[in-house]
Amino acid sequence: MDERTENMKYKILKIGMENGEWRIKIPHSPFPIPHSTQRGFTLVETLIAISILLVAVVTPISLIGDSLHKLYYARDEMVAINLAQEGIEVVRYVRDSNLLASVPWTKGLHNSNEKNGYIVDAASISGATNSYFKKCNGNNTECLAPQPIYFDSATGFYSQGLSVGGTVSLTQFKRLVTTEDVSGNVNEIKVTSTVEWMTGGQAGSIVVTENLFKLK
Sorted by sequence, the CB contacts under 8 Å of residue 158 that are 6+ apart come out as: 79, 83, 86, 122, 123, 149, 150, 151, 171, 173
Which pLDDT score is estimated for 44? 78
Q: What is the pLDDT along the chain (216 residues), one digit of tens a residue?
A: 555 544 444 455 556 666 666 666 655 566 665 655 666 667 777 788 788 877 777 777 766 667 788 889 999 999 999 999 999 999 999 889 888 888 888 888 776 666 778 888 887 776 655 667 787 765 556 678 899 999 999 988 898 877 888 899 999 999 999 988 887 788 889 999 999 999 988 999 999 999 999 887
- The answer to whether 175 and 160 are in contact (CB under 8 A) is yes
- The answer to whether 110 and 190 are in contact (CB under 8 A) is no
Q: Is 196 helix (H, G, I), strand (E, B) or coil?
A: strand
Taking phi over 0 as left and psi of -120 to 50 as alpha, with beta for the rest, 108 belongs to left
Which pLDDT score is estimated for 38? 62
Give backbone dihedrals phi and psi of 190, rounded to 5 degrees, phi first.
-100, 125
Which pLDDT score is estimated for 10? 45
Which pLDDT score is estimated for 145? 87
> In this structure, are strands 157-159 and 21-25 parallel, antiparallel, or unpaired?
unpaired
Which pLDDT score is estimated for 23? 66
- The answer to whether 148 and 163 are in contact (CB under 8 A) is no
Give backbone dihedrals phi and psi of 43, rounded to 5 degrees, phi first.
-60, -40
In Å, what is the CA distance from 54 to each residue of 42, 44, 205? 19, 15, 37
Which pLDDT score is estimated for 35? 58
This prediction has a pTM of 0.67
